[in-house]
Amino acid sequence: MALWSKLWQAYRWRLRRRYLLLRALRRRRRLTAVQDRTRAIRKGDILLFASVRNEAQRLPHFLDHYRRLGVDHFLIVDNMSDDGSADLLAVQPDVSLWQTGSSYRLHRFGLDWLTWLMIRHGHDHWCLTVDADELLIYPHHDTRPLSALTGWLDESGQRVFPAMMLELYPKGPVQAQDFTPGSDPLRLLRWFDRGNYTITRQEKTKALWIQGGPRARMFFADRPRLAPTLSKIPLVRWNRRWVYLNSTHAILPSRLNEVYDRAGGEAISGVLLHTKFLPEVVRKAAEEKDRREHFGRPEVFDAYYDSLMGSPDFWTPQSTPLGGWRHLEALGLMSRGGWL
């Protein structure tokens, strides 16, 4: 890319970042505080940000998982759940909760809400931004808390930590499975695709775009570019001048997206265990197809929702059982980098 093109693109990204920050500031009034416990946040606390809707089945294990890792405070926006999610969250002593009835899609799929909360509370904290169906694991997560990882990242001068979303599924049709609400979804979702992943470097954002997995295999074989993006940057030493560009797939300033070693080595990375395919996904697919709050052009994905509503069976004889983080590292799906 010519120098003038790079300078022009950098200028456009700067304008875009300022616009998105201003947009979040303007739209903060769409949030109503239900329980604001942010006065309890202390310097050095690790924070988690999420927007949720009707996730009562997942939330107990979600909270337990991240508490065990070492998250100190949760800042959550509830988008008008009607399954008891808000009541469950409101009584948690380490959760600050806001509600909104505004459109998830028209607020950048919740990013407008979370951006404001990160401006207000996340500056200079290590911040995790995840969905309720994403469970982060990282090298040594079973023996070392998040503070050990973030401490090493600080010492190494790294402000971001990437993770690939690994989509898990059961053996057999998803709706036929038995799942106890609030329990560990990993007891049911024990399988994943070990191959069929593609990696593309986005020239403008400098981000890596990973696609593949069971949804790409089953629903987007004839439209691979529309398959879900699996690369994310969920853990960041936040600065109030920064902003996520689209979900947590890319961030501005764009230099933060260079989370890989371009010299041929391996940079440190983790995995987001994606627990989407619990039995409730069939009901949720019908609801989301009707609400049309996901994806920029919802009508393009009607066939995808129809497939989920059919209670698919993702398992094949080539499916791989989920092991520990060392197994995932051996498969090349995560890396210790220089953290030994």
Neighbour count for residue 183 (Cβ, 10 Å): 13
Mind giving me the DSSP string for 196-247? --EEEE-TTT--EEEE-HHHHHHH-TT-GGGSPB-EEEEEEE--TT-EEEET
For 201-246, how does the pLDDT look when each residue is reduced to its tens digit (9 = 90+)?
Answer: 998 899 999 999 999 999 999 888 889 999 999 999 999 999 999 8
Task: Output Rg (C-alpha) for the chain, integer angstroms.
Answer: 19
CA distance 239 to 118: 8
- Residue for token digits 């500031």? 25
Q: In terms of pTM, does the model score above 0.85?
A: yes
89 pLDDT tier (thresholds 50, 70, 90) = very high
| In the predicted structure, residue 102 carries a pLDDT above the cut 80 | yes
How high is the pLDDT of residue 210? 96
Cis geometry, peptide bond prior to residue 312 (ω within 30 degrees of 0): no
Residue 128 pairs in a beta bridge with 48, 235
Q: What proportion of the chain, given as a percentage, has pLDDT over 70?
A: 96
**Alpha carbon distance 238, 159 (integer Å):** 8
Domains, the chain, ordered by start: 15-330 (3.90.550)
**The predicted structure's pLDDT at residue 295:** 66
Cβ contacts of 216 within 8 Å, gap of 6 or more: 196, 224, 227, 228
Question: Given this model, what pLDDT does residue 138 score?
Answer: 98
Mean pLDDT, range 122-145, rounded to an integer? 98
Taking the C-alpha atoms of 259, 263, 269 and 275 in order, what is their torsion angle to the nearest 10 degrees? 80
> Which residues lie across from 165 on neighbouring strands?
272
